[in-house]
């Protein structure tokens, strides 16, 4: 497992496709807490799927004013089909070209597999990493850590 | 490893021995095929371990994926309010492939419950707060998909097959 960026570090900015014709930069969300979740791939088995789970918990994240962003190396068209199929109500970013470049900056790229780690980052309003966690790739980390971090951040 | 944050209380639906040395908690979704797969396995565990385990079922409907999961969960809570929780729980899983709102009403009638009362309860989302409370408690405890099992409060990260769950229970005995 690679060493992911730790709390206290300024989250590296990025500008990635969020739909086939739109891009999103992390810096656009300055002033808002951001949950950045790197995951290996779209289309993993349905009921244990991490993005589908977070989708059900969105209202809890938003109670803390936080925006959720999913990010993988899948292309924007793939994300679009996946988001539509699973009724996802949050953006999926494509770390597609150059492949995995953003994931590498966050220490969340698995070179051997050519995909992202299951890595979570909670970023504060100033763009500083408040909490980060890297899960074994086969284990969906759930959302308890994210919610705890959001609560602590508000203290 | 994640632990169960919401202790088992009398508010829970518990089957078997409440004072058993091992309490198994499942967070499940009535429309989830993996939960449907786990359903007979839980029965098998209950038969195998008898009074040594108590089994608790909590709601974790993934409503964006499964259109009937929420109403099924609310229907089971409606049945619980009429002392028929486990009958409803079992009937839903046994008919999972044809799950629909009309099936829920039919099952209610079969169990001697009032279908119009259930329809009204579903329309009013009478048991939605209870289902949501289960769901959020599960989120707090690190539920990471359905089904998620806790054996004496510890999340079971292995497969939800008989051998794996039985070994985890044995380890607590």
Nearest to B64 among A52, A140, A144 (CB): A52
Residues written for chain B? 173
* Helix B101-110 vs helix B69-81: crossing angle, to nearest 10: 20
Nearest to B139 among A46, A60, A139 (CB): A60
Tell me which chain A residues have a C-beta less than 8 angstroms from the C-beta of B62. Answer: 47, 52-53, 56
| Cα–Cα distance, A84 to A66 (Å, whole number) | 22
Mean pLDDT for chain A overall: 94
| CB contact (8 A) between residue B65 and residue A87 | yes
| CB contact (8 A) between residue A56 and residue B64 | yes
Pairing status of strand B53-59 against strand A115-116: unpaired
B1 and A CB contact within 8 Å: no
Q: Residue A49 has what pLDDT?
A: 85
Is A47 among the residues known to form the active site?
Answer: yes
| CB contact (8 A) between residue A47 and residue B140 | no
User: Which spans in B82-172 are helix H?
Assistant: 85-94, 101-110, 115-123, 128-140, 162-170
Nearest CA in chain B to A141: B144
pLDDT in tens, A96-131: 999 999 999 999 999 999 999 999 999 999 999 999
B128 and A CB contact within 8 Å: no
Statement: residue A1 has pLDDT above 70: no
Statement: residue A48 has pLDDT above 80: no
Q: Which of A39, A45, A47 to mutate to test the interface with B (most CBs of B within 10 A)?
A: A47
Mean pLDDT for chain B overall: 97
Helix (H, G, I), strand (E, B) or coil at B172: coil
As to burial, measured by CB atoms within 10 angstroms (0-12 exposed, 13-18 middle, 19+ buried), residue B53 is buried
Tell me which chain A residues have a C-beta less than 8 angstroms from the C-beta of B139. Answer: 57, 60, 142-144, 147
| Cα–Cα distance, A153 to A155 (Å, whole number) | 6
Separation in Å, CA of A98 to nearest CA in chain B: 31
Residue B153 CA, chain-centre distance (Å), reads 16
| CB contact (8 A) between residue B144 and residue A56 | no
The owner of tokens 């098998």 is B44
Binning pLDDT at 50, 70 and 90, where does residue A47 land?
Answer: low
The first and second tokens of residue B82, run together, are 């009429």
Q: How many contiguous H segments (helices) and E segments (strands) does chain B have?
A: 7, 5
| CB contact (8 A) between residue A142 and residue B29 | no
Q: Which residue has the higher pLDDT, B55 or A47?
A: B55
| CB contact (8 A) between residue B144 and residue A55 | no
Q: Residue A95 has what pLDDT?
A: 98
| CB contact (8 A) between residue A56 and residue B63 | yes
- H or E segment at A153? helix A144-154
Q: Which of A142, A146, A147, A149 to mutate to test the interface with B (most CBs of B within 10 A)?
A: A142
Nearest to B145 among A47, A60, A87 (CB): A47
The first and second tokens of residue B92, run together, are 């839903």
CB atoms within 10 A of CB B24: 26
Binning pLDDT at 50, 70 and 90, where does residue A138 land?
Answer: confident
Tell me which chain B residues have a C-beta less than 8 angstroms from the C-beta of A53. Answer: 62, 143-145
Statement: residue B72 has pLDDT above 90: yes
- From the list B66, B69, B85, B67, the residue with the least C-alpha distance to B77 is B85
* Residue B69 neighbours by CB under 8 Å, 6+ apart: B29, B30, B31, B32, B61, B62, B63
- DSSP β-bridge partners for residue B132: none
pLDDT in tens, B113-145: 999 999 999 999 999 999 999 999 999 999 999
């Amino acid at each position: 497992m690679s060493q992911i960026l730790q709390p206290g570090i300024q989250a590296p900015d990025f500008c990635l496709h969020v739909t086939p014709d739109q891009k999103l930069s992390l810096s656009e969300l300055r002033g808002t807490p951001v949950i950045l979740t790197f995951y290996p791939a779209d289309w993993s088995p349905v009921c244990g799927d991490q993005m589908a789970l977070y989708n059900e918990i969105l209202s809890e994240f938003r109670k803390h004013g936080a925006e959720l962003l999913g990010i993988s190396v899948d292309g924007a068209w793939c994300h679009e089909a996946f988001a539509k199929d699973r009724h996802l109500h949050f953006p999926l970013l494509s770390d597609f070209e150059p492949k995995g470049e953003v994931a590498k900056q966050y220490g969340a790229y698995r070179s051997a597999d050519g995909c992202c780690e299951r890595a979570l980052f909670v970023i504060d309003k100033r763009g500083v990493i408040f909490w980060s966690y890297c899960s074994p790739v086969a284990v969906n980390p759930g959302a308890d850590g994210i919610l705890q971090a959001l609560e602590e951040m508000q203290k | 490893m994640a632990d169960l944050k919401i202790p088992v209380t009398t508010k829970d639906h518990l089957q078997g021995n409440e004072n058993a040395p091992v309490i198994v908690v499942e967070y499940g979704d009535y429309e989830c095929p993996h939960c449907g797969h786990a359903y007979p396995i839980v029965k098998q565990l209950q038969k195998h371990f008898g009074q040594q385990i108590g089994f608790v079922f909590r709601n974790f409907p993934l409503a964006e994926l499964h259109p009937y999961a929420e109403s099924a969960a609310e229907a089971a809570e409606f049945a619980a309010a009429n002392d028929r929780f486990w009958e409803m729980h079992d009937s839903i899983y046994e008919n999972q492939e044809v799950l629909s709102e009309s099936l829920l009403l039919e099952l209610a009638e079969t169990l001697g419950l009032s279908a119009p009362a259930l329809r009204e309860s579903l329309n009013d989302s009478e048991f939605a707060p209870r289902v949501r409370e289960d769901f959020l408690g599960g989120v707090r405890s690190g539920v990471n998909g359905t089904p998620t099992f806790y054996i004496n409060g510890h999340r079971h990260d292995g497969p939800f097959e008989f051998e794996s769950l039985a070994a985890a229970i044995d380890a607590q005995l």
